[in-house]
Amino acid sequence: MTVTNNWRRVMTVVFWVVVALVAAAQLWIVIQGVFFMRLWEDEAFNLTVPLNLVHGLGYTSDGTLSGSQLTPFDPRISTGPVVLLPIAAVIALGADPVIGGRLVVLLFYAALVAGLWLLGGRLGGRWAALAAVCVPLGWNTWNSGSPIQSPVDILGEVPAAALLVWAFIVLRKYPWLAGVLIGLAMQTKLLGALAAIPIALAIYLLSEGGFVRRALRVVLCALVAVIPNVLYELWKLVALGPSAYWLNLKEFYWFFTSGGQNIDPVDPTKKLVALGDGWFSPTWLTVIFIVLVLAAVCVFVLRRPMPENSDSDGVGSRREQTAYALAAIVGLVIWFGWWLTSTHTPNWPRYPAMAMYIFVPIIVAVAIRALSEHWNTRPWGVGSRIASAAVAAVIVIALGMQMWGHVQVADKSRFGESLADQRVAAAEVADVELDVIVTAWGPTVSIIVLAGAHAALNDVPDWDGTPELWKNWDTSDAGMEAFDRRLSKECTGVPVQTDLYALCVVP
């Protein structure tokens, strides 16, 4: 008995030491993300909506990707009003747009972490809670064509995931509230609709009574989920008028079905490979981790009976664990099925990110609970305990490597610049006092938005002759010389030039 008590004390100390390390890593990542990480072009494009709203132009983007004209309810702004309206509010109160916007997203990220902690703890105890909050940082969305640089980027994936995790938390007692959260998630990122089926499945499995009673709870959730979406569409209809509203719907349909990308179809096998490569741990370790976690869930939870006292130990019951595990597996199948078959979307890890943030932590939490029970009940002797310990070790190593990988990139800047560097360049551009600046889509968009001008694309004839912002991609001596030669050849004037950017007055 004494040995057991001493072991428990040791594990309690270890647990809280690991909690402190994880908390420090989370703080490091979000502080870098809020204050130092460069503003990338999707963030900047999203920011044009709250900025224009504060300036009295309505819920309108700069339309950089929609003809380079001010565009109300721009279909290409896939981050919704649930995020952008609060950002507009903090900007109106005097906050810096970038810092204020990222702090709004930070609140959503805090809600995601808190929700995963509660859900993981309910399903599998404190170690499952700890593992659940680590999983989202393992998905590597940093170095791709359309990244999530940090969990506080001004994007919709993390806020939508937070809302959907809380929908999972409340669905058993309050299916109507789960519906509200689904609707809000859809108005944060429309892809959140893919989580509706697994949430409905969990509601059905966890409801009391017969088929009709269970189905009615699912229908209630679905009906309530429609409300936020209907309200948004009514807002658009009133603001745009019938004809413009109909045109907006057609443009949105094209954007949603095409992904807004004019690309060659992407082979689904490349995306499947990316699912294994898209973690901060090595691919071989990730594959072992996935196989072991799924095996633990299937063998130890879905097939084995739980101990008789499992409902009284403060964590989830067998029924709840099974329902959430099934819902999470169905959610991953739906999400990955959509992504693998949508060959019109690029092979970017940002697309399946929400599934990684929502469903993988649930599966990991249930797997840890299964391993814990297997360890404590010893149904198959010493060999079985050794196998459980080996599986637990793989899970710990994989999660640790993923967390450490994210920590290592948190202070890195894409394209060799930080937010402070961008502000210096933007201040020089702002001194020229231009209302519109044209550019190619890329890092220059962020500089233009930071400078307080409207960003237009240089392939739109309406803006011929407008000063154009260029980026120097090669800062070596030879690259700088080549950039200078291009400026002298193609520009009639260069009112701003830094190591990375130049404002070209075109003929």
- Residue 308 pLDDT exceeds 50: no
pLDDT digits 0-9 by tens, 315-371 = 467 788 889 999 999 999 999 999 988 888 888 888 999 999 999 999 999 888 877
DSSP structural state of residue 311: G
362/129 Cα distance (integer angstroms): 9
2-6, 99-103, 380-384, 475-479: the lowest-pLDDT one: 380-384
pLDDT at residue number 399 = 78
pLDDT at residue number 307 = 44
47-56, 98-107, 183-192, 363-372: the lowest-pLDDT one: 363-372
pLDDT digits 0-9 by tens, 401-428 = 777 778 888 777 777 789 999 999 999 9
pLDDT at residue number 311 = 46
Edge-to-edge strand ranges of the sheet holding 436-439: 454-457, 436-439, 468-471, 501-505, 493-497
Q: What is the mean pLDDT of the chain?
A: 87
pLDDT digits 0-9 by tens, 177-217 = 999 999 999 999 999 999 999 999 999 999 888 889 999 99
- Residue 24 pLDDT exceeds 60: yes
Segment 396-405 shows an average pLDDT of 78
Rg of the chain over Cα atoms, rounded to whole angstroms, equals 25
1-10, 333-342, 444-453: the lowest-pLDDT one: 1-10
pLDDT at residue number 383 = 60
- Residue 119 pLDDT exceeds 90: yes
Q: Is the pTM of this model over 0.85?
A: yes
| pLDDT greater at residue 296 or residue 115 | 115
499/501 Cα distance (integer angstroms): 6
Beta strand 493-497 with 501-505 is antiparallel
